[in-house]
Amino acid sequence: MEVITEHEKNDLEKVILVGLASGSRKKAEVAESLDELEALAVSAGAEVVGRRIQARSKPTAAYYIGTGLVEEIKQSLVEFGGNCVLFDDPLSPAQQRNLERAIDAKVLDRPILILDIFATRARTAAARLQVELAQLEYTLPRLTGAWVHFSRQYGGIGAKGPGETQLEIDRRRVHKRIAHLKGKLKKLGKQRATQRKQRQVLYKVALVGYTNAGKSTLFNLLTKAKVRTADMLFTTLDSTTRVMSSGYPCQIVFSDTVGFIKKLPHQLVESFKSTLEEVSLADLLLHVVDCSDTRVEEHIRQTQQVLSEIGADKVPYLMIFNKIDISPDFQPLDGSRDAPFVISALRPTGINSLQAELVARSGRFFSKIRRK
């Protein structure tokens, strides 16, 4: 466990969360979304000191929220000792700048927070390159004198990780760096493709799903691997693959992948595409869902959306409802193509029938290959 010292505690960002209930979005829905935003903020090392939800027909062009609320937030920051305002929705570069000027504090949005968490968690060379690329793509339209001035002045969330030094250099150099990173990633992509070709006669199974659903826990159980698992958002950023043969009619390669979340910044999806090829080129997806979460349907929808963004929506899949041990009354929803599996990866339940299905499917795959 990471220990936070008293000194570091004083340096924590103290944030106010802001959400907008507009169009068909009800306040209760926005409140749930802010719960998730709070979990993200805490994972990034911030302390949440307040939250505000505004209902209005649509966002304003200049500040996203109404000017009355801008003023109230400014006062609340003083009252609660806050130093940062975090919006649940993506802000335009102009809105972010206007808000920073009006509130005189750091203003962040959900995408930059997610990018920041990815930056601090990225371990492998590929993950670091991909995060830096996403950060630069996000930063580019915001690279004006005022923005750089603020990021330098406030530091902390939004100014961490591999992209940090790039925030202060000019657009031309950022473009150059982006081209360089893309080149490096292309090379890595080619290496992955070669490795994948060597695995062509293997049955490829990828675990996908919302962050914290239990993908890595199930991966470890199926492959006897020791991938890190934890009760926090985005524990896994890098794909891990393991080839299994004992007990199966042919070799199966399992891949554990990065989790998805609502409003995943499109720059991240774009730059993680090569890692996520493990998913789009799989023979079968195990779509893992935390059935103890109240937002099961929303999580399934969000995951399906990212799957279609990365071109993996045609890959056959099995729905795996996990964590049944803490949600014993859960009834799987109708509408899945194949019968869903209801399991616990932590206190193994329902794993035998899942494995039997994998044996059957990989057997069919293997006999098809032999006939060719």
Ligand X SMILES: Nc1nc2c(ncn2[C@@H]2O[C@H](COP(=O)(O)OP(=O)(O)OP(=O)(O)O)[C@@H](O)[C@H]2O)c(=O)[nH]1
Question: What is the contact surface with ligand X in residues (CB under 6 A)?
Answer: 211-217, 229-231, 233-236, 259, 322-323, 325-326, 344-346
Nearer to ligand X, 20 or 285 (CB): 285
Q: What is the largest CA-CA distance in the chain?
A: 73
Least CB distance to Mg ion at residue 239 (A): 10
CA distance 293 to 343: 14
Cα angle, residue 106 at apex, residues 69 and 39 outer, rounded to 5°? 85
Least CB distance to ligand X at residue 33 (A): 18
Least CB distance to ligand X at residue 303 (A): 11
Nearer to ligand X, 220 or 362 (CB): 220
Both tokens of 82, joined, read 């806050």
Of positions 96, 135, 216, 322, contacts Mg ion by CB under 5 A: 216
DSSP per-residue codes, 169-219: S-HHHHHHHHHHHHHHHHHHHHHHHHHHHHTTTSEEEEEEEBTTSSHHHHH
Place of tokens 């006669």: 201
Nearer to Mg ion, 110 or 215 (CB): 215
Q: Residue 163 binds what, of ligand X, Mg ion, none (CB under 5 to 8 Å, by partner type)?
A: none
Question: Cα torsion for 248, 251, 255, 256, to the nearest 10°?
Answer: 40
Binding range to Mg ion, per CB under 5 A, among 10-18, 78-86, 87-95, 209-217: 209-217
227-246: which residues touch Mg ion (CB under 5 A)? 235-236
Buried b (16+ CB within 10 A) or exposed e, 50-73: bbbbbeeeebeeebbbeeebbebb
Both tokens of 265, joined, read 């910044």
Q: Residue 240 binds what, of Mg ion, ligand X, none (CB under 5 to 8 Å, by partner type)?
A: none
Nearer to Mg ion, 236 or 267 (CB): 236
Least CB distance to ligand X at residue 29 (A): 23
Question: Cα torsion for 295, 301, 303, 308, to the nearest 10°?
Answer: -170
Least CB distance to Mg ion at residue 300 (A): 18
Both tokens of 135, joined, read 């950060």
Nearer to ligand X, 320 or 358 (CB): 320
Both tokens of 335, joined, read 């509408």
Nearer to ligand X, 33 or 217 (CB): 217
Binding range to Mg ion, per CB under 5 A, among 211-219, 280-288, 295-303, 320-328: 211-219
CA distance 348 to 355: 12
Least CB distance to ligand X at residue 49 (A): 26
String marking each residue 163-202 x if it binds Mg ion according to CB under 5 A: ----------------------------------------
Nearer to ligand X, 262 or 323 (CB): 323
Q: Residues 6 or more apart from 209 whose CB is under 8 A from it?
A: 215, 259, 260, 287, 288, 289, 290, 299, 303, 320
* Sites of contact with Mg ion (CB under 5 A): 215-216, 235-236
